[in-house]
Structure formats: C-alpha cells, structure tokens
Structure 1
Amino acid sequence: MIPFRKMHGLGNDFVIVDARPAPLPLAPTRIAALSDRHYGIGCDQFITLETPGPGADVFMRIHNPDGSEAGACGNATRCVAHLLMAETGRERVVVRTIRGDLPCERLPDGPHGTDWVRADMGPPLLGWREVPLAAEMDTLHLPMDLGAVADPAACSMGNPHATFFVPELDAIDWRALGPVAEHHALLPERANIGFAQVLAPDHIRVAIWERGAGPTLACGSGACATLVNAHRRGLAGRRARVELPGGTLEMEWRLGGHVLMAGPVATAFEGRFDPQAFPG
C-alpha cells in the first residue's frame, strides 16, 4: 500500500506521493487511472516527490490526469513547499522541477495567515521557440481566431500558455473553446488556455482550460501567464490580484523578470492505495 496526501490550492487539487524513500511503480497509465475522479482518487495533477541533487529540498515530478508529464504547476509547488516547511521547520525551501529551482517562502502571520505560501515561479519565456509555437511569429499576437475569441498572447512558464482577452468572461463558452484552442495547429505541444477579463490594472478575472486536465478551479502557472501577457499588452501593471473560479492569487512580475505567486494551501485528506488495483 502506498500512502498519499490529497492537497489543493484554491480547489486546484493534487494527489501527492513520496518516492524519496524508494522508487514507486507508477507508469503513466496507472497515474491516469489513479487520477480519474470516478474510478480513482481523482486530481488535477498527480505529484511525485523525489530525491533532488544538491541545492534543492525536493524534486517535484508533475503528471497531468491523462498521464502526460508537465513542466510546471504553481499551486502544486506551493502545496509541496508547505509540506517541506512542516517537515523541516524552515520558513523557506526550494522545490526543483523540470523548469528549474523554485524558491518558496511562508508569508508571515497577519492578513494572509500561516497557510499562505509564495513561490518564485521564475521568468516567463517569451520567444516563439520557447513557448513553443509551430512557426516564427510574434508571441504577443497569435493569428488564432476561434470565432468567439481571437488574437491570444502566448508565453511559457515551464509549460505553454495562450491567453485570450475578452470584454466579458461570462459571455463566452470558454469550456467549449478551451479544447479547440489547446489542440490548435499553432501549438505543437498543446497549451493551457486562459480566458481573461481585465477588471482593473491590478485586478484580472480568468478561467483556464488546462492542457491534459480540462477546466480547473485554479491554475497557478496560468495565473502567472495571465499577468505576464496582460502587462505585455498594456492592460495591467506588474502586480495584480488574479481571480480564478476557486479564489484569488496575488501576483507580481518583478522588474528582474521573475514572477511571484502567493496564495493559500490546504490538506483535504490522507490515505493509502494499492497500485495493483489500478491498470498500469
């Protein structure tokens, strides 16, 4: 039996297993079965903690619920950092991912409370090859027209993102548009698709269709991409509240280039599963 912990950030939920003591026999097909909300435990991403090399406290491996591997997950980063802080008693830890090392800190007591964690998600990647896109083009204006929405901006936060800016979020069927955009020919590795309504220079409302996961209550890397693309378009400043269906994250794109994301984390429950009970 393998122990796990179910955590979430703003409803963006994760199954977290610890493979630091010994490797775990979890192939992508088995991870997909465990991630299924009807027949498995259910999650937006499946997180495996692994032993890092020097300079980090843990390596966090991220799988989408279809079993594919992802390079970044902001809310999972904050959840894992919270676990490490509880383990070590430290207020600052470093979570290593495919994207790189992500320093995290617990925010001091006060308006945020003790369960708020801020993660340095690193700098956005803005080149067309870095996103990546299918051909050379301006990442600030993609020639993508889905009828109800068009002209998204793109960047990578360790995984590809495209953001459509809309006058009224509730007026579009973003759940229907999301999978069409995710699989667009301009996005050879697919992408997380954001639909953003800028309410003020420091307040953005966004819904995100996640690559390999579908609609989620929150997406940390998507919130990062939303702020970055909104600022690049001249629609927002470098600091903003990004309001997602599950709650609000506080975001800052610093002049040095790094994007900081702060928000709450929570543990839903703990349990154990038999990996042989799931196809793999």
Structure 2
Amino acid sequence: PDPLITSEQAVQWCDRNFGIGADGVIFALPGLEGTDYSMRIFNADGSEPEMCGNGIRCLAKFLADLQGVTGSTEYRIHTLAGVITPKLEGNGKVRVNMGMPQLLASQIPTTLVQGDQKVIDVPLEVGGKSWQVTCVSMGNPHCITYVEDVSAIPLELIGPQFEHHSVFPKRTNTEFIQVVRPDYIKMRVWERGAGATLACGTGACASVVAGVLTGKCDRTCTVELPGGCLEIEWSEVDQRIYMTGPAQRVFTGTME
C-alpha cells in the first residue's frame, strides 16, 4: 500500500517553520501478511526508514484512539523491518516487542569489518578523531559510541559526518551514550534523515544491546533522552528486545 502523500509533500509537512513540524510522517495502511496494519514512514528529509520505535508507539496510540479503545490492546504491525507488536498498557504506556537485534556487519550494513563479523568496540575516524564504535541493526542501522558527557557533544557538527561516512552504505543513525550506572544511561541521537531529535526508540534499543556487548550496561536499562525516558529490556529468555514508553495525543488537525 502506498502513502497518501508523496515524500516531497512529507518534507513540507515536517518543516517546523512553514509546515506542521515533525521528525517524520507516519502512515497507517492496510495490513500485509496477516497483520492488523502496515506502517510506512517518511523522514523530515523525504527518505523512508525501515522502522521507527517511537513512531510505532505513537501509531499504536493513534489506532487505539481511532477505534475508541481505552484498555489494554495489542496490534501486529507490518513494517519494512518485519512484524512489530506494540501493546498498549492500562497506564498509558506502550510496550513494544522490537524483535531481535542483528549484529553482523552485512546486516547493518557497514564495511567497517568483514560482512560475517560483528562490529563491537571498533575504531572509526570521524571529524579528525578516533571513536570506538559498536554497530547494531534494529531493522535500521545504528552506530553507538560512548562519551564522558553527552551534553558536550557538538551534535549538529559531528552527527552528519557519522551519518554520511563511507563505511555506512545506507547511512546510519548515531547514538552518543553516557553511562550513569549499568542500569541507567543518557543518550543523544543524530537520526538518519531527521537530524538531531528528542528521542529514538530503535536507537535506545540498539544502545542497550551495544552496552551489553561491551560490558557497560545491564540487559534491563533506563535510557534517558532529551524527550524523556524509555525502559529497555534485552530478554535472556527469547533474545528479543522490549521497549516501554509513553505515547500521547498532542493535537489533531486537517491539511487542505
């Protein structure tokens, strides 16, 4: 199913000065392969990502409001990253089964190491500096690096250099992580196609996976982002990642 507007129109909608203002536009479309709905997204620059963790929570809330559902409910959503299952809980939060992380370089994709190898704590030169990075795919690519103080990172300067680095053929999301405790990390993110954003659900998931792989954080961890906190669990039982966070309606309107 195709979105009702073009990627060029989505760029106009996302403009914070002349449009509605957003990091992206999400479309609820008919379900595919036995799912309840399909989700498509256009980023603020018109590109189409495979998935958006925060976006799918918002979509679940949107669908529940549309149907008048007030209690707990679950949806199976078809995305370009596979079937994702968000569940609205009675407390206003949405818990999402984000699936299993992909760790091989060919899956991310990146040419930092051989395709059948994992990218864990590998040096990468960006902006004249060597960074230790770990790469994870949550259906979309993520490059995670650890810093002393996330507030000191010149995100608008260094973010695009990571995103467009030649070792990432499909570009990458980049997460800068400050470990406060093994169960609590701070994160700032430069999103592929959207730039500096207040939160990134898939990035929070990828960052906890990277933290576990490098021995820096626990499998259950709070991720503090500029837009609020997400609870992330990388289950030892089924190896899937579960993300829990709020979703609320801000406003409704009509575009003519």
Greater relative contact order (Cα < 8 A, sep 6+): 1
2:231 pairs with one of 250, 255, 274:
250
| Shift of residue 169, structure 1, vs aligned partner | 1.6
Q: Tell me how far apart the structure 2 counterparts of residues 162 and 172 of structure 1 sit (CA, whole Å).
A: 15
Q: Is the 8 A contact 2:103 2:118 kept in 1?
A: no
Comparing 222-231 and 128-137, the one that deviates more: 128-137
| Shift of residue 24, structure 1, vs aligned partner | 5.3
With normalisation by structure 1, the TM-score equals 0.84
Classify the secondary structure of the residue corresponding to 1:158.
coil
1:121 pairs with one of 73, 98, 107:
98
Q: Is the 8 A contact 2:3 2:29 kept in 1?
A: no
Q: Tell me how far apart the structure 2 counterparts of residues 143 and 186 of structure 1 sit (CA, whole Å).
A: 12
1:152 pairs with one of 129, 133, 141:
133
Instruction: Give the aligned partner of residue 122 of structure 2.
Output: 142
2:157 paired with 1:180: no
Q: Is the 8 A contact 1:85 1:92 kept in 2?
A: no
Q: Tell me how far apart the structure 2 counterparts of residues 248 and 98 of structure 1 sit (CA, whole Å).
A: 26
| Shift of residue 171, structure 1, vs aligned partner | 2.9
Q: Is the 8 A contact 2:120 2:210 kept in 1?
A: yes
2:28 pairs with one of 11, 27, 49:
49
Deviation digits for residues 77-112 of structure 1, max 9, x if unmatched?
A: 11111222331636111121111111121224xxxx
2:172 pairs with one of 191, 194, 203:
191
1:130 pairs with one of 107, 119, 126:
107
Give the direction of change, closer, same or farther, for the CA distance of 1:149–1:143 in structure 2 (3 Å limit).
closer
Instruction: Give the aligned partner of residue 187 of structure 2.
Output: 206
- Number of aligned residue pairs: give it: 248
Identity %, equivalent residues:
37
Q: Structure 2 regions of 5+ residues with no counterpart?
A: none
2:58 paired with 1:76: no
1:104 pairs with one of 62, 86, 89:
86
Classify the secondary structure of the residue corresponding to 1:187.
coil
- Give 4+ residue runs of structure 1 displaced > 3 Å after superposition: none
Q: Tell me how far apart the structure 2 counterparts of residues 24 and 171 of structure 1 sit (CA, whole Å).
A: 39
| Shift of residue 174, structure 1, vs aligned partner | 2.7
Q: Tell me how far apart the structure 1 counterparts of residues 209 and 68 of structure 2 sit (CA, whole Å).
A: 33
Deviation digits for residues 159-188 of structure 1, max 9, x if unmatched?
A: 100001112222332332111111111111
Instruction: Give the aligned partner of residue 214 of structure 2.
Output: 233
| Shift of residue 196, structure 1, vs aligned partner | 0.1
Counterpart amino acid of residue 224 in structure 2: E
| Shift of residue 139, structure 1, vs aligned partner | 1.0
| Shift of residue 262, structure 1, vs aligned partner | 0.5
Q: Is the 8 A contact 2:25 2:41 kept in 1?
A: yes
Give the direction of change, closer, same or farther, for the CA distance of 1:52–1:31 in structure 2 (3 Å limit).
same
Q: Is the 8 A contact 1:48 1:62 kept in 2?
A: yes
Instruction: Give the aligned partner of residue 6 of structure 1.
Output: none
Give the direction of change, closer, same or farther, for the CA distance of 1:131–1:54 in structure 2 (3 Å limit).
closer
Q: CA RMSD in A?
A: 1.7
Deviation digits for residues 64-84 of structure 1, max 9, x if unmatched?
A: 111111001001111111222
Q: Tell me how far apart the structure 2 counterparts of residues 213 and 131 of structure 1 sit (CA, whole Å).
A: 19
Q: Tell me how far apart the structure 2 counterparts of residues 213 and 74 of structure 1 sit (CA, whole Å).
A: 14
Q: Is the 8 A contact 2:27 2:41 kept in 1?
A: yes
Q: Tell me how far apart the structure 2 counterparts of residues 24 and 183 of structure 1 sit (CA, whole Å).
A: 27
Q: Tell me how far apart the structure 2 counterparts of residues 25 and 53 of structure 1 sit (CA, whole Å).
A: 17
Instruction: Give the aligned partner of residue 76 of structure 2.
Output: 94
1:37 pairs with one of 2, 16, 25:
16
Instruction: Give the aligned partner of residue 251 of structure 2.
Output: 269
Deviation digits for residues 1-58 of structure 1, max 9, x if unmatched?
A: xxxxxxxxxxxxxxxxxx8xxx654221121122111121111111111101243211
Counterpart amino acid of residue 68 in structure 1: S
With normalisation by structure 2, the TM-score equals 0.91
